[in-house]
Amino acid sequence: MIRNFDSSMLGVIGNTPLVELQRLTKNIEGSIYAKLEFFSPGLSKKDRVALQMIEDAESKGILKPGQTVVELTSGNMGTGLAIVCKLKGYKFVAVMSKGNSIERAKMMKAFRAEVVLVDQMPDSIKGQVSGKDLELVEVEAQRLTKEYNAFRADQFFNASTMDVGEDKIGPEIIEQMKETKVDIFVDFMGSGGSFIGVSKALKKKYPNVKCFGVEPDNASFYSSEEGSSGKHSIQGGGYNMQLNFVDKNQHVIDGFITVSDQEALNAAKLLASEECIFAGYSSGANLAAALKLLKGKFKGKNIVILTPDSGTKYLSTDLWSNV
């Protein structure tokens, strides 16, 4: 059925495809299904979160007409908010570490956002944003929020971040899977909101589903009791710090899986070369984690992963440097 026209790009956010990765699992017992969240105007799952945040704030009266919106971002949330704010008539100021890929800043500027880039810590590596780097971004975001008397979207604590997963992404997965049962869900943790929200929705439908959070092996805050450096290349998460949504919803979490930079990179390239899915680092991390599970004690299971964003956001990084 052909859909009717939409009055703006806000109408095309959500209802993303779900694809079985048959080529990648042809010699493995089990199946992997990828929810293509980059099928969205800003090329990431954060478009959904941005729209939900702004509409929730409007309905509660905490975002006033003409007010400025400020948010800390690695780029995806900022792009989503840039789109939503532009189309709804709000000024948006994105605050981002200089360690994130430049493509993200350019996208936000294209949507008329103001982008403030914050220096990294002296010992940080460009392209590897640590929790300490994020702390510097948070300080600047707080300063700008006061300066503009702005609405702070606050993705790490705003419940809208989690609600999108529980009320929209999760139910879409359930509908798309039809009679096929979901055995396992894995998701790379940024704020942890989507991971927890989708896990809640899936556990209502499938009480025995196992839900695993994915972390970089060098930022294994929840996976290991031993300290880790926090330095890695998987942009958009793995900040090696406590996550509000994860801490408050341990009951829906069945465990955590770590992946290395190289595993995430190799898996992202496999998505492109085998399935023609051009996705980013975190998608690679999710696929790598799913493959580990199928090759281990979860042989023969059905696993759902998210592909959070597009590979076009990483053309200047090591992910596609040798293509």
Contact 319/311 with Cβ under 8 angstroms? Answer: yes
Alpha-carbon span 320 to 323, nearest angstrom: 5
Task: Give me the catalytic one of 97, 130, 194, 282.
Answer: 282
Rg, the chain, Cα only: 19
pTM beyond 0.85: the answer is: yes
46 catalytic residue (yes or no): yes
Residue 127 falls in which region: left (phi positive, over 0), alpha (psi -120 to 50) or beta: left
Show the domains of the chain with their CATH numbers: 9-41+164-314 (3.40.50.1100), 46-152 (3.40.50.1100)
Q: List the pLDDT tens digit at each of the 323 positions of the chain.
A: 677 899 999 999 999 999 999 999 999 999 999 999 999 999 999 999 999 999 999 999 999 999 999 999 989 999 999 999 999 999 999 999 999 889 989 999 999 999 999 999 998 887 788 888 999 999 999 999 999 999 999 999 999 999 999 999 999 999 999 999 999 999 999 999 999 999 999 999 999 999 999 999 999 999 987 767 788 899 889 989 999 999 999 999 999 999 999 999 999 999 999 999 999 999 999 999 999 999 999 999 999 999 999 999 999 888 988 87
In this prediction, residue 155 carries a pLDDT of 95
130 catalytic residue (yes or no): no
Task: Give me the catalytic one of 35, 45, 46, 210.
Answer: 46
Task: Kindly write down the DSSP assignment for every residue of 40-90, as one continuous string.
Answer: STTSBTHHHHHHHHHHHHHHHT-S-TT--EEEEESSHHHHHHHHHHHHHT-
In this prediction, residue 201 carries a pLDDT of 98
Alpha-carbon span 130 to 27, nearest angstrom: 37
In this prediction, residue 274 carries a pLDDT of 98
Indicate the DSSP class of residue 127: T
In this prediction, residue 1 carries a pLDDT of 65
Please tell me whether residue 129 adopts helix, strand or coil conformation: coil
- How many CB atoms neighbour CB 220 within 10 A? 21
